[in-house]
Structure 1
Amino acid sequence: MASWFQKYSDRWHNDPYPFYAYLLEHEPLYYIQERGFWVASRYEDVNFILKDPLFVREYRNAVPQQHLQELPQPQSERNPLGKLLDNWMLFRDPPVHTRLRSLVSHAFTPRTMDRLKPKIRAIAEQLAAWMAEQPQPDLIASFAFPLPVIVIAEMLGVPPEDRELFKDWSHTFARVLEGTDGSPEFAQQAGKAAEQIADYFRRLIAARKSAPREDMISDLIAAQEQADALTDQELIATCVLLLVAGHETTVNLIGNSVLTLLNHPEQHARLLEKPELAASAVEEVLRYESPVQMTSRLASADCEIGGRTIRQGQSVNVMLGAANRDPAKFERPDRFDIGRSPNRHLAFASGPHFCLGAPLARMEGELAMAALLERFPQMRLADEKPNWRPNILFRGLGSMAVKL
């Protein structure tokens, strides 16, 4: 079992669901001795771990103070990558997480989403028109990848000519989050990417300080007068997090939506007949092919779950992709049903770290699906075998050739 969590392999990752079914039936809470962490796959346990304040993100909050004093001091102040990750709300606990999240949350309110909707619809339609002109269209490169880049770049205030810079940066940080490549070569690559993207946003923030615009960076700068406002380093790190998290997962959502629909022609036909099911279809894709397959937490005290004791300081990998196929929660979980209701999946996690950008991702997925179905009702796959990207944390396609 430990090998599944060490590196990508076609055997496990082209179709992880039989493995998840095994975990759910035989080892819903399993300790991997050689890796030193737990694996939780059952919906009830995953949801509990994500919501219970006993489970935290920061190691310093999970172990006794005397243990921390025995550890070497972190070198993040001299490490560009460490400086970014240390200031990502994704990896922080309250009260820092609460402060960071509250300062950014205004960008994802229902009013903001309503204002963005026409713009996102127009972007999706423009990309679909561009894809129609290509002799051998790749849905990922031509549509799924650029759409969220354009959206989050416009929200942040990134100039159009700079969007292409984010492609390699985004993929590099996705591999950083996965955490399975410990090679010196990748460490150097990740450090360089962190330095480059931090420098980029540092210059953009400086420009907005001298000439504010109607964008998220200008709004966050304006809020710096508050007592609990973002520091400059937190502001840079938050911009990077919004870019990476907002882009990587939405690319996967759009690609997984099209792939799953085309692999289920009866559901594809159903959606064409009833386009009002688009929002429900997005929720079912999120459950059925979750763009993020897992996350992790640390136990800050001993905790018993299902008759097993997770000790203080131990890490737990919570398998979102497995929990979303749990037969104890979902009837016929391996069946793709765009009308499924209720559908309380955990694709966006739950608890205090529930995905802040979930409303935006849902809207992008729905509008993308609508634009593609309307323009290309006869779309089909050009390749039989999906080209899954080699990443065990994110589930998404590297390319997807289609016939329009």
Structure 2
Amino acid sequence: MYQQPPASPKPDIAAWFRTYSDRLHNDPYPFYAYLLEHEPLYYIEENGYWVASRYEDVNRIMKDPLFVREYRNALPQHQQQQAPPPPAEWRPVNELLGNWMLFRDAPAHTRLRGLVSHAFTPRTTERLKPKIRAIAEHLADGMAEQQQPDLIGSFAYPLPVIVIAELLGVPQEDRDRFKDWSSMIGRVLEGSDQPLEFAQQAGRVAEEIAGYFRQLVAERKSAPREDMISELLAAHEQGDKLTEQELIATCVLLLVAGHETTVNLIGNGVLTLQRHPEQYARLLAQPELAASAIEEVLRFESPVQMTSRLASVDYEIGGRIIRQGQSVTVMLGAANRDPAQFERPNRFDIGRSPNRHLAFASGPHFCLGAPLARLEGEIALTVLLERFPQMRLADDKPNWRPNILFRGLGSLPLRLC
């Protein structure tokens, strides 16, 4: 059984967010334990932002409308400083991400979310169950033919990509192009300082993916199909004030968000179960616990580790004052290990109940695709355990992707028998 290492006595909090470290990224939980016990609300003066780790504070910040996503809504107009324009290399990225509902506040967020929300309700996603199951079984067939398959490349990545691509109406032959595009956008979302060369690469990717969906949108205008792009175009034609830039950005967001975290969820789930053989045996004996196991994986190894908000007023929380306009990084991964909320939080328990984790955030920006991600994760685990009950890790050193925002594996080689 995987044992939680003792918390580091006094880590350099600012350094953890400033520079990537393999050691800390491979196991961030001692650092989170330190934050929860000693610095649940910490101000990083050199960067001018707060870090919140306690469950109660994180949940409150994400739900309170006084915390916003857009800087222009965080300060009155007369107080906003004229920031210099970003380098030209970043313009394609900023134009793309600036139209994501993820980074918008009401009413724009409400309008954009409303246009696609019907496709991700529990009832709608439930109808996808047979198709997702068939995709998972087909991918498992491919794994069975390999001597030492990589779970990520052979199963965890293609499963959600195929599902979201089919929903959007993306041709099958184009799906392989998304991996590099999505990986680059994931690095952009980290928000850390990047060299000019990276900005140029990111800008090219933003232009490529926007150009791809611009062409796909043009094709659907002339020949609509039964897919989400055609539905979004119909809303556009009906005067729902959806600009072409918003339409393209929404397609990109759905593609990236529709598979990125689910890949991590499936990979993290298999790894965590393998590290806890007693829980793996329990799930084999009680396959009806698959949905509960997915919830525990979401809590224990959250696919998204953090997000952020801006204070629109001076805000008192935890005995501290967050000033208007200041940013707060809310640590989802830490909140999901808070002993004030979860009994024995460092114990992996697939039967845990209640389990009100924050892996999908909370409040108005609660993950739109949560029902689909949950269903894909449950089906993935079920199929894998049915087909490969004797599977085990081929390498006991996980290959975590170097990204502090997303927690996921670059590869996970398995032995199936």
Shorter-chain TM-score range: over 0.9
Contact 1:326–1:333, Cα closer than 8 Å, also in 2: yes
Residue 240 of structure 1: aligned partner: 252
* 1:77 Cα deviation from its structure 2 partner: 12
Q: Does 1:191 align with 2:218?
A: no
Q: Distance in 2 between matches of 1:325 and 1:294?
A: 13
Q: Does 1:133 align with 2:145?
A: yes
Contact 1:81–1:190, Cα closer than 8 Å, also in 2: yes
Q: Distance in 1 between matches of 2:57 and 2:88?
A: 33
- From 298, 302, 313, the equivalent of 2:310 is 298
SS of aligned partner of 2:307 = strand
Q: Does 1:38 align with 2:53?
A: no
Letter in 1 for 2:173: E
Q: Distance in 2 between matches of 1:78 and 1:378?
A: 48
Contact 2:148–2:394, Cα closer than 8 Å, also in 1: no
Contact 1:103–1:229, Cα closer than 8 Å, also in 2: no
Q: Describe the shift of the 1:72–1:66 C-alpha distance in structure 2 as closer, same or farther (beyond 3 A).
A: farther
* 1:288 Cα deviation from its structure 2 partner: 0.2
Q: Distance in 2 between matches of 1:74 and 1:181?
A: 13
Letter in 1 for 2:125: M
SS of aligned partner of 2:356 = coil
Structure 1 segment 71-150 matched on structure 2, within 5 A: 71-72=83-84, 79-150=91-162
SS of aligned partner of 2:129 = helix
SS of aligned partner of 2:153 = helix
Letter in 1 for 2:303: P
Residue 52 of structure 1: aligned partner: 64
225-234 vs 5-14, greater mean Cα deviation: 225-234
Letter in 2 for 1:5: F
SS of aligned partner of 2:324 = coil
Q: Distance in 2 between matches of 1:148 and 1:237?
A: 19
Contact 1:175–1:181, Cα closer than 8 Å, also in 2: no
Structure 1 segment 366-377 matched on structure 2, within 5 A: 366-377=378-389
Contact 1:381–1:401, Cα closer than 8 Å, also in 2: yes
Structure 1 segment 339-358 matched on structure 2, within 5 A: 339-358=351-370
Residue 5 of structure 2: aligned partner: none
Residue 395 of structure 1: aligned partner: 407
* 1:402 Cα deviation from its structure 2 partner: 0.6
Q: Number of residues paired by the alignment?
A: 404
Contact 2:122–2:372, Cα closer than 8 Å, also in 1: no
Q: Distance in 1 between matches of 2:386 and 2:220?
A: 39
* 1:111 Cα deviation from its structure 2 partner: 3.1
Give 5+ residue unaligned stretches, structure 2: 1-12
Identity of aligned residues (%): 79
Contact 2:184–2:202, Cα closer than 8 Å, also in 1: yes
Q: Distance in 2 between matches of 1:285 and 1:209?
A: 41
Q: Distance in 2 between matches of 1:115 and 1:209?
A: 27
Letter in 2 for 1:68: Q
- From 278, 291, 296, the equivalent of 1:284 is 296
Contact 1:297–1:315, Cα closer than 8 Å, also in 2: yes
SS of aligned partner of 2:80 = helix
Give 5+ residue unaligned stretches, structure 1: none
Contact 1:76–1:82, Cα closer than 8 Å, also in 2: no
Letter in 1 for 2:359: A
* 1:69 Cα deviation from its structure 2 partner: 5.5
Q: Does 1:151 align with 2:163?
A: yes
Q: Distance in 1 between matches of 2:278 and 2:382?
A: 17
Q: Distance in 1 between matches of 2:16 and 2:130?
A: 42
Q: Distance in 1 between matches of 2:411 and 2:85?
A: 42
Q: Describe the shift of the 1:83–1:207 C-alpha distance in structure 2 as closer, same or farther (beyond 3 A).
A: same
* 1:109 Cα deviation from its structure 2 partner: 2.0
Letter in 2 for 1:158: V
SS of aligned partner of 2:128 = helix
Q: Distance in 2 between matches of 1:209 and 1:55?
A: 38
Give the TM-score of the pair, scaled to structure 1.
0.98
SS of aligned partner of 2:396 = coil
Q: CA RMSD in A?
A: 1.4
